[in-house]
Structure 1
Amino acid sequence: MLGSAVWASIKETVKTVVYALLIAGVFRTFLFQPFWIPSGSMKETLLIGDFLFVNKMAYGYSYASCPSIIIPRFGIDVDAEDFCGVFKGGNDRLMGSEPERGDVVVFRHPVTGRDFIKRVIGLPGDTIQVQEGVIILNGTEIPQTEAGLFTETMEHQGSAGNLPRCANGAVGLGAECLKQRFTETLPEGTQYTVLNIGDRDLDNTGIFTVPEGQYFFMGDNRDNSSDSRVPQISRGVGFVPYEDIVGRADRIMFSSSGRSLLAFWTWRSDRYFKAVE
């Protein structure tokens, strides 16, 4: 009798675990994907250590909607193409809708397959150029207005321990690291903050014409962002196909200023459930 009871208990436990995994898989595949911000390319909109859920329903579904499981510590590297690569290649989406200019979007890097998060600046058919740090969209400058300084502490940030780059030069650990802040306003009226460190190569570019079915992305921390300004042939992002989009970042759930999300005492109390704009 005891053996039967133990066996029944084990079966119930296994069933519970399997059901939980199936529910989590459906949730992650079709509804929302957790995403942790590992770099400073979207400051100050998104900070290193922000934890958010990506809305996969926003633009419909493609092969990129399948989950990625990447755990370097255990040698696990299985991405969406491994799961659903058979659906790749049509540059189409099921129940698809198009991103809007200004949306903050997670997408798969067209070459490496790693998830990136940037802001949509160029839609199919647009022309984009950057001159002295100002975007020229379809021949018209996107206005920027000064918005003071962005201040952070010079310290190792996130699990990678990266140090920020500063407009006020090479400062020591614990000192103030400053960047210029500007409010950028898109033609549709969307406003957000962009940061400037100083004169950089990508402050001046040629003219990009966004191909049909592709998008042009930029980071808000303009001088510390690998984005569509650098073509794929030069190891940049380049244009991003519609099918490589994962979803839209809508809201930060919580945020950690420490080296680990589990260090709850480092969570930033002002960023709980903060909307991504």
Structure 2
Amino acid sequence: MKKLPIFLIGATGVIALTVYLINPFGTATLDPRARIWGIMYYHIPSASMMPTLNPGDYILVKTFAYANTMPEIGDIVVYKPPQLNVPFIGRVMARPGDNISVQDSIAIVNGQRQEENYILKPEGVCYIRDFPETTVPDEALFIVGDNRCNSRDSRMFGTVSQNNLIGKVSYIWDSSDKD
């Protein structure tokens, strides 16, 4: 069996390291899968995105999705909240320049009540049902969970810089909800 020349192995390592350091997809994570390959997977740890994503689900995230574009309203994204170094998952509800408020857990964007058939209807104690109107600044997004009563999101920590986006959720490959 023919062995690979040592310089070929070294060159491959140098190329991978260079791509990692350049971070061509502009992702906000240090994970080499995201920086080199442009995709990664996550395990859903909480109920913040129920019923869309359930605790225990595995999702595929495209870290290259927003390399040259801005997320659309309704996109489900993985991001790092301000002041935290832990990835969160949420739905983009407003983009730069949009006015957003939340009344009784329903988002109102630019004066229009949003049809959100995907949210988990509030039951029992809901710590944040309302959020006063705010204008999303340039280069930022307002991101919330589908389970409004059980989600830490922009209603708590404010808007999220586009630089803190890790990627777009593109596929649920293993769900704890087998329906």
Return the TM-score normalized by structure 2.
Answer: 0.77
Residue 73 of structure 1 aligns with which residue?
A: none
Residue 84 of structure 2 aligns with which residue?
A: 112
Matched residues in 2 for 1:33 and 1:27: separation? Answer: 6
Matched residues in 2 for 1:269 and 1:224: separation? Answer: 22
Q: Does residue 52 of structure 1 match 2:24?
A: no
Q: Does residue 133 of structure 1 match 2:105?
A: yes
User: Cα–Cα, structure 1 residues 140 and 199, in superposed 2: closer, same or farther, change >3 Å?
Assistant: farther
Q: Does residue 245 of structure 1 match 2:165?
A: yes
Q: Give 2:114's aligned amino acid.
A: I
Structure exhibiting the larger radius of gyration computed from Cα positions: 1
Identity %: 35
Matched residues in 2 for 1:241 and 1:213: separation? Answer: 6
Q: Which aligned pairs between 1:86-105 and structure 2 lie closer than 5 A?
A: 96-105=68-77
Q: Which aligned pairs between 1:147-162 and structure 2 lie closer than 5 A?
A: none
Q: Give 2:132's aligned amino acid.
A: G
Deviation string 1:120-144 (CA, Å, 9 cap, x unpaired) is: 001111111111222221112223x
Candidates 194, 200, 204, aligned match of 2:130 = 204
User: Cα–Cα, structure 1 residues 27 and 133, in superposed 2: closer, same or farther, change >3 Å?
Assistant: closer
Matched residues in 2 for 1:224 and 1:111: separation? Answer: 20
Q: CA RMSD in A?
A: 2.7
Secondary structure of the residue aligned to 2:85 is coil
Contact 2:91 2:146 in 1 (8 A): yes
Candidates 118, 122, 125, aligned match of 2:94 = 122
- Following superposition, the deviation at residue 215 of structure 1 comes to 0.2
Q: Give 1:228's aligned amino acid.
A: S
Q: Does residue 220 of structure 1 match 2:146?
A: yes
Matched residues in 1 for 2:137 and 2:44: separation? Answer: 28
- Following superposition, the deviation at residue 192 of structure 1 comes to 2.7
Contact 1:130 1:202 in 2 (8 A): no
Contact 2:93 2:107 in 1 (8 A): no
Deviation string 1:155-186 (CA, Å, 9 cap, x unpaired) is: xxxxxxxxxxxxxxxxxxxxxxxxxxxxx1xx
Return the TM-score normalized by structure 1.
Answer: 0.51
Q: Where does structure 1 differ by over 6 angstroms across 4 or more consecutive aligned residues?
A: none
* Paired positions, count: 158
User: Cα–Cα, structure 1 residues 27 and 200, in superposed 2: closer, same or farther, change >3 Å?
Assistant: closer
Matched residues in 1 for 2:69 and 2:155: separation? Answer: 25
Secondary structure of the residue aligned to 2:118 is strand
**Structure 1 unaligned blocks of 5 or more:** 1-7, 61-95, 144-183, 185-190, 232-237, 258-267, 271-277
Q: Which structure exhibits the higher relative contact order, with contacts defined as CA atoms closer than 8 Å and separated by 6 or more residues? A: 2
Secondary structure of the residue aligned to 1:206 is strand
Matched residues in 2 for 1:198 and 1:132: separation? Answer: 13
Matched residues in 2 for 1:195 and 1:44: separation? Answer: 10
